[in-house]
Amino acid sequence: MLTMPRNDLLLFLGFAIAVLTMPIWMAPFGAAYPDLLQRFMIYGLFALGFNILFGLTGYLSFGHAAFFGVGSYAAVWSMKLLTIDALPAMIFALIISGIFALAIGYVSLRRSGIYFSILTLAFAQMSYNLAYSVLTPITNGETGLQLNINDPRYLDRMFSAATPSVPSPTMLGLPLTGFTGFYFCAGFLIIAFFIAQRITGSPFGMMLKGIKSNQTRMNYTGFNTRPYTLAAFVISGMYAGLAGSLLAITDPLAGAERMQWTASGEVVLMTILGGAGTLVGPVIGAWLIKYFENIFSAINENMLARFWDFLPDGLDHAAVVVSAKFVGEGWFLTLGLVFVLIVVFLPGGIMEGVRRIASWIDRNRKSTPKSASPKTQPAE
Amino acid sequence: MFEVIFLQFLNGLDKGAAYALIALGLTLVFGTLGVVNFAHGALFMLGAFCAVLFRQLITLETVTLDPTKLSPWGSPLEIREPLVQAWFGDFGAVLLNYSVLFSILLTIPVMLVVGIALERGIIKHFYKRPHAEQILVTFGLAIVAQELIKSFFGPNPIPQPMPTDLRGAADIGAFLGMQANVITYPIWRLIYFLFAAVIIGGVFAFLQFTTFGMVVRAGMADRETVGLLGINIDKRFTIMFGLAAVVAGMAGVMYTPLLPPNYHIGMDFLVLSFVVVVVGGMGSLPGAVAAGFLLGILQSFASMTQVKDLIPGIDQIIIYLVAVVILLVRPRGLLGRRGVMEA
């Protein structure tokens, strides 16, 4: 860590502090309860991993939820068969999702561009359909896989007698409920962020960015790009598996709908919204989406009526009717609109917006025009 | 045994027809504008909801109370009379019965406007952008369209009745001189297949035998040269986008009696149609149609009990499996041209 460039170290420390103090600074926003904060961490981790593939190499995977789902299933199975402890569950989930990503990546990465997207989509849909139908013995189909009082838990049995009720996941005996659960997830997000940062700055990360800029040229230069993209694919699949296992640990239930392609689409939305290719962007995108999902879907017509109260009669009623379409059940409409606007006007996401504002302030201060950072194109 | 195979073949036709129609529109958009349109499924869904809207409009009723008669629970009898029947008399009844077919008349202009507005409003700005961004923006548009529909029509499927005369099944076996009552096939599915055949034939004829179609084909082959010849190719391509939207919309309208539409019906079809397009070959119209029917029929065969016993779960994944194999073995699809999106 001491060898890190100063800016990277500052970014990392800033990120770690921001994450760890979230229960404090999220309080004014009404989001400082552990359940939501845990989801912030988990989806942040998911988006961070997705960004290693999409942001660095430009390969747009539309099937990343498959790894998320596989990680969840693996974690729940580990808690059913081995022990209720969280760490073995996560290791098991990492291994399984890594193998799964290796197999899918090996096949899918033979093609690039839209074909790659469709191959990953096809594999994810196959996993989803199979999880719903034939693989019911493993996935418990529509009901979803959950912990049971009669689970064998062989490792736990060796040390202690069976508990009278369904146990909840622990880490080394520490129950992972409430804020303990949040700090548990936050720790992994920070570690994952550190690894992602190291990857981005390493020669390997430069290679991936080179693939994004121009894969053909990389090939002509004499690099075999396939192992690099495959490595990036497997790493990002393992991130997704880790996130899935964390979700299964904080809420021990794994369902097939986590693998559906809408779930894959969601992580794409998060990454783009925040800014693909940046480190912090995808995490912020994930936080924003999860935050607004939580806030917007809780708003109802009474709250809107109070909000629009200052308008004259009749007009306020119309305002309530119109805005009601965008909140509550319809919050996804807001998300879709915001997403379209972002892609049209700000393809770099929120982080590009921040950069533009920063350079605008910079220019005003120095009144010397400064060139914008070079834009990289994804691999075609 | 022959009857069983023939029946499965028939069963695959209507689904294959739907795939082929959506894939045809997708390919038209890709071949002309070079845009990978993830919102195409949403256009299918919008078409289906044109039918729902049309039916809701014509089933508007007037309710009059008749105090002289009492309903079984003692209140004055309500006489409900559909407005169309009041206005048009017998024709109104026909209109109600055949509402699905008549709603096509509403669908065509609506979808044309939607398609052209979409192209001029947003997609126009994405020609020069990478395919990944085209996917993203059209994916966002699809979410917006489907959420709008959800907020107006609710999340539940809305069943659409088929015309009374066209319910039931046709005995195709007897028609072809085989044993009666062995091969029966719902009439509406047969109509759907014929309808799809007419539309597909119409699109091909339009491209092949009209001057407009000739220009469009030339533009697909070499857009710049056509532009240099002084032809406003962009305008024609916009119209082609509208046409693709109309084809998708009509496919949606005619599918409503078979599957009650809900807001995500388009997404369900879209994923499969993309697979169809890729299998057929990006940019190849005959490829899209052939692959649509091929995959529809394959799926129908895979859902036979005998096949399912042999390979469990095959019916769920057959289409994706075929797509993966095709993509790996023959990246430009079955009938794709050499060099078009071959990666």
B185 has which bridge partners?
Answer: B170
> Which pLDDT tens digit goes with each residue over B44-81?
999 999 999 988 888 877 777 776 777 666 676 777 77
Over range B254-274, report the average pLDDT: 84
The answer to whether ipTM exceeds 0.90 is: no
Over range A359-378, report the average pLDDT: 66
Closest CA to A77 of A92, A64, A65, A87: A92
Query: Predicted confidence band at A181 (pLDDT cuts at 50, 70, 90)?
Result: confident
- Considering only A3-17, A137-151, A189-203, A237-251, which range has the smallest mean pLDDT? A137-151
Q: What is the CATH number for B223?
A: 1.10.3470
Chain A residue with minimal CA distance to B143?
Answer: A336
User: What is the predicted pLDDT for the residue at B164?
Assistant: 80
Over range B221-239, report the average pLDDT: 88
B278: nearest CB among A118, A340, A343: A118
User: What is the predicted pLDDT for the residue at A108?
Assistant: 92
B341 located within any domain: no
Q: In which domain, by residue range, is B273 found?
A: 2-68+75-329
DSSP assigned state of A374: P
Chain A residue with minimal CA distance to B150?
Answer: A330
Identify the helix (H) or strand (E) that includes residue A324: helix A315-324
Q: What is the mean pLDDT of chain B?
A: 84
Query: Predicted confidence band at A219 (pLDDT cuts at 50, 70, 90)?
Result: confident
User: What is the predicted pLDDT for the residue at B342?
Assistant: 53
Residue A338 and residue A273 in contact, taking contact as beta carbons nearer than 8 Å: yes
Positive or negative, the CA dihedral A187, A16, A72, A231 is negative
User: What is the predicted pLDDT for the residue at A162?
Assistant: 67
User: What is the predicted pLDDT for the residue at B5?
Assistant: 83
B25 located within any domain: yes
The Cα–Cα gap between A245 and A72 comes to 4
B338 located within any domain: no
Task: Assess whether pLDDT exceeds 70 at residue A376.
Answer: no
Over range A347-373, report the average pLDDT: 78
Over range A147-161, report the average pLDDT: 77
B176 located within any domain: yes
B80 has which bridge partners?
Answer: B63
The answer to whether B131 contacts A113, with C-beta atoms less than 8 Å apart, is: yes
| Cα-based distances in Å from B15 to A34, A334, B21, B132, B193 | 47, 33, 10, 29, 9
Backbone angles phi, psi at A145, to 5 degrees: -85, 130
B343 located within any domain: no
User: What one-character-per-residue DSSP string does B38-98 give?
Assistant: TTHHHHHHHHHHHHHHHHHHHT-EEEEEEEEEE-TTSSEEEEEEEHHHHHHTHHHHHHHHT
How many domains, chain B? Answer: 1
Query: Predicted confidence band at A82 (pLDDT cuts at 50, 70, 90)?
Result: confident
Task: Assess whether pLDDT exceeds 50 at residue B318.
Answer: yes
Residue A196 and residue A51 in contact, taking contact as beta carbons nearer than 8 Å: yes
User: Which residue would you say has higher pLDDT here, B194 or B341?
Assistant: B194
Closest CA to B259 of B186, B317, B182, B165: B186
User: Which residue would you say has higher pLDDT here, B237 or A261?
Assistant: B237
User: What is the predicted pLDDT for the residue at A379?
Assistant: 53
The residues on B that touch A, with CB distances below 8 Å, are 36, 122, 125, 129-133, 135-137, 139-141, 143-144, 147-148, 150-151, 155, 267, 271, 274-275, 278, 282, 312-313, 316-317, 320-321, 323-324, 327-328, 331, 341, 343
Over range A129-158, report the average pLDDT: 81
The answer to whether A272 contacts B341, with C-beta atoms less than 8 Å apart, is: no
The Cα–Cα gap between A145 and A148 comes to 9
- Considering only A265-279, B128-142, B225-239, B285-299, which range has the smallest mean pLDDT? B128-142
A289 to chain B, any CB pair closer than 8 A? The answer is no
A260 has which bridge partners?
Answer: none
Query: Predicted confidence band at B339 (pLDDT cuts at 50, 70, 90)?
Result: low
Task: Assess whether pLDDT exceeds 90 at residue A95.
Answer: yes
Q: Contacts of residue A335 in chain B, CB cutoff 8 Å?
A: 143
Chain B residue with minimal CA distance to A121?
Answer: B271
Residue A116, both tokens: 């790659």
Identify the helix (H) or strand (E) that includes residue A124: helix A113-132
User: What one-character-per-residue DSSP string does B279-304 give?
Assistant: HH-TT-HHHHHHHHHHHHHHHHHHTS
B235 located within any domain: yes
Query: Predicted confidence band at B210 (pLDDT cuts at 50, 70, 90)?
Result: very high
B63 has which bridge partners?
Answer: B80
B336 located within any domain: no
Query: Predicted confidence band at B275 (pLDDT cuts at 50, 70, 90)?
Result: confident
Task: Assess whether pLDDT exceeds 90 at residue A106.
Answer: yes
Q: What is the mean pLDDT of chain A?
A: 85
Q: Contacts of residue A225 in chain B, CB cutoff 8 Å?
A: none
User: Which residue would you say has higher pLDDT here, A252 or B293?
Assistant: B293
DSSP assigned state of A256: G
User: Which residue would you say has higher pLDDT here, A16 or B338?
Assistant: A16
Over range B8-17, report the average pLDDT: 85
User: What is the predicted pLDDT for the residue at B55?
Assistant: 87
User: What is the predicted pLDDT for the residue at A370?
Assistant: 47
User: What is the predicted pLDDT for the residue at A374?
Assistant: 52
Positive or negative, the CA dihedral A284, A285, A290, A293 is positive
B334 located within any domain: no
The answer to whether A110 contacts B150, with C-beta atoms less than 8 Å apart, is: no
- Considering only A112-126, B195-209, B240-254, B265-279, which range has the smallest mean pLDDT? B265-279
Query: Predicted confidence band at B341 (pLDDT cuts at 50, 70, 90)?
Result: low
Over range B106-134, report the average pLDDT: 88
B122: nearest CB among A134, A262, A344: A344
